[in-house]
Amino acid sequence: MSSGLLTDRDGVVAYLEFAHLSATLADEADHITVREVTAGNMNRVFIAEGPLGSLAIKQAPPFINVIGEGAPMDPSRIGAEARAYAQLARLAPDTVPAIAHLDLDEYVMVMEDLSELTVLRDGLVDQVTARLAGEATSEIDCAAIGSVVGRFIGELTFSTSETSLGRSAFEELTRESSNPDLCALTLQYVLGEPYRDVANNHWVPALEGRVRQLWNDSAVAAAVERVSKVFTESPQGLLHGDLHTGSVMVRLPNVGHDLDVKVFDPEFSFVGPIGMDLGLFWANMRIAAMAADAAGQTDLAVMRASAVDTSREAFRAAWQDTASPEFLDQVEREAWGFAGAEMIRRVIGVARAADLELLPADECAAASVAVFDEGRSLLLDPSTGPVAHI
Ligand code: SR1
Ligand code: MG
Ligand code: MG
Ligand code: MG
């Protein structure tokens, strides 16, 4: 079958019939409903549901979905994602969705439907906007979520490090997990474009002067160069590679309930610097905290910022017995360098943070300035971590 791009219900159902998966959802294909739930930047995702069950269908188009056909991209990236899921299923089975089917001809992956859970970034955004509208909100136990994510990063990187695997298995994993196309995207969209005057960049008017200065600051250029060098030259353990709050799902409400946290979308996975996943998660939790702070919701800001501490502790616990304090300090310094770059790109690059963009204009401006300033400070001096009041 050549289904081409899946765009509508009939295409998705026809694909499920071709893949012999429709019977797991319904006795008759007519009873299957489909909705598109694309949320990330790269791919398209649909949920198909019938009386017998539901599945998520993800397809990589031959371009970056959010930009369109003007940004061609090899769709066989879905293979890299499937490889990463296979590794993660072995190492952290409870923390990733189960994969039901992979089709490297149509660039389709079918997996467990997690749509009962909430994407963490969406949950955090809804909390702030609902409060601004005077509506009731779900509580989100960010401290507990931070512990799970920190443990995930710690156990994943530790169990795939050279220390755990030995030289030859580690080298094999590094080769197998090589992901040059997606690593090139990180160099472009996280560590490249935000530091140049390119059409993809956008920012709020309050950042105008700061952005112009950023592009002409040789100390910033040198700092970005240092982070890029760490990114490309430190194979230390298997990473998710894009571990922001849009790559984490949680069952809400999660206060007083068993925690159900899943990490998904590992298409950027590769063997890289241990600090990167931590830094990306920290940056996005700090962005969520600063958004709440700018909206006058100090209690939420404090709760969100606490995820940095709990993830840091859980990460350290996974490495504690084998790593020297100096090594862990170095990982944390590098993590804050990545966090700085991530914060900057989330306010001026192509993939900006919904946490900020969905705030009313004045609050968005205040939060964007706070995120930019902290990101720039962390980039220039990652040794101490954030110095802000939250
Ligand atoms: C063009 S957007 C590129 C970004 O999307 C992915 O979600 C990654 O975060 C990447 O940096
Ligand atoms: Mg993603
Ligand atoms: Mg994606
Ligand atoms: Mg390729």
Encode pLDDT of 110-126 as tens digits. Answer: 999 999 999 999 999 99
Decide: 146 and 314 in contact? Cβ < 8 Å. Answer: yes
Q: Which of 46, 111, 99, 44 is nearest to 75 (CA)?
A: 44
Cα angle value 183/189/190 (rounded, 5°) = 80
Can you tell me the mean pLDDT for 256-269? 90
Question: Amino acid letter at 122?
Answer: D
Report pLDDT digits (tens) over 216-245.
999 999 999 999 999 999 999 999 999 999
Quote the ligand 4 centre to 64 CA distance (angstroms): 13
Angstrom distance (rounded) from CA 237 to CA 239: 6
With a 6 Å cutoff on the Cβ, whether 243 touches ligand 1 is no
Q: What are phi and psi of 17, to 5 degrees?
A: -65, -45
Task: Give the helix ranges, DSSP H, for the chain.
Answer: 9-18, 77-91, 120-132, 142-159, 162-165, 167-176, 180-189, 208-215, 218-233, 275-294, 298-319, 325-348, 354-357, 361-380
What's the pLDDT band for 256 if we cut at 50, 70, 90?
confident
Report pLDDT digits (tens) over 143-160.
999 999 999 999 999 999
- pTM of the predicted model as reported, rounded to 2 decimal places: 0.96
Quote the ligand 2 centre to 228 CA distance (angstroms): 20
With a 6 Å cutoff on the Cβ, whether 40 touches ligand 1 is yes
In whole numbers, what is the pLDDT of the chain averaged over residues?
A: 96
Residue 7: exposure state from Cβ atoms within 10 A (0-12, 13-18, ≥19): middle
Ligand 1 atom nearest residue 244's Cα: 9
Percent of the chain at pLDDT exceeding 90: 93
Residue with the larger pLDDT of the pair 259 and 351: 351
Quote the ligand 2 centre to 219 CA distance (angstroms): 30
What's the pLDDT band for 388 if we cut at 50, 70, 90?
confident
Nearest residue (by CA) to ligand 1, atom 5, is: 41
For ligand 3, an ion, list residues with CB under 5 A: 40, 42-43, 265
Task: Please identify which residue in the block is written with the tokens 């397809």.
Answer: 59
What's the pLDDT band for 340 if we cut at 50, 70, 90?
very high
With a 6 Å cutoff on the Cβ, whether 189 touches ligand 1 is yes
What's the pLDDT score for residue 1?
57
Residue with the larger pLDDT of the pair 258 and 237: 237
Quote the ligand 2 centre to 62 CA distance (angstroms): 16
How many CB atoms lie under 10 A from the CB of residue 52? 13
- Six token digits for residue 23: 């019977």
What's the pLDDT score for residue 258?
76
Report pLDDT digits (tens) over 31-74.
999 999 998 899 999 999 999 999 999 999 999 999 999 999 99
Decide: 378 and 337 in contact? Cβ < 8 Å. Answer: yes
Quote the ligand 2 centre to 240 CA distance (angstroms): 10
With a 6 Å cutoff on the Cβ, whether 42 touches ligand 1 is yes
Nearest residue (by CA) to ligand 1, atom 8, is: 242
Q: Is the pLDDT of residue 351 over 90?
A: yes
Tell me which ligand sits closest to the C-alpha of residue 107: 4
164-170 CB contacts, 8 Å cutoff, 24+ apart: 170/271
Cα angle value 96/102/108 (rounded, 5°) = 100
Tell me which ligand sits closest to the C-alpha of residue 42: 3
Residue 27: exposure state from Cβ atoms within 10 A (0-12, 13-18, ≥19): exposed
Can you tell me the mean pLDDT for 173-180? 96
With a 6 Å cutoff on the Cβ, whether 66 touches ligand 1 is yes
What's the pLDDT score for residue 41?
93
Quote the ligand 3 centre to 38 CA distance (angstroms): 8
Ligand 1 atom nearest residue 64's Cα: 1
- Six token digits for residue 279: 């830094």
What's the pLDDT score for residue 3?
64
Decide: 87 and 267 in contact? Cβ < 8 Å. Answer: no
Nearest residue (by CA) to ligand 1, atom 7, is: 41
Tell me which ligand sits closest to the C-alpha of residue 342: 1
- Six token digits for residue 166: 């030995």
Instruction: Report DSSP letters for 5-18, one per residue.
Output: S--SHHHHHHHHHH
Q: Which of 42, 41, 187, 33 is nearest to 107 (CA)?
A: 42
Quote the ligand 2 centre to 266 CA distance (angstroms): 7
Q: Is the pLDDT of residue 89 over 80?
A: yes
Quote the ligand 4 centre to 76 CA distance (angstroms): 6
Percent of the chain at pLDDT exceeding 70: 99
With a 6 Å cutoff on the Cβ, whether 41 touches ligand 1 is yes
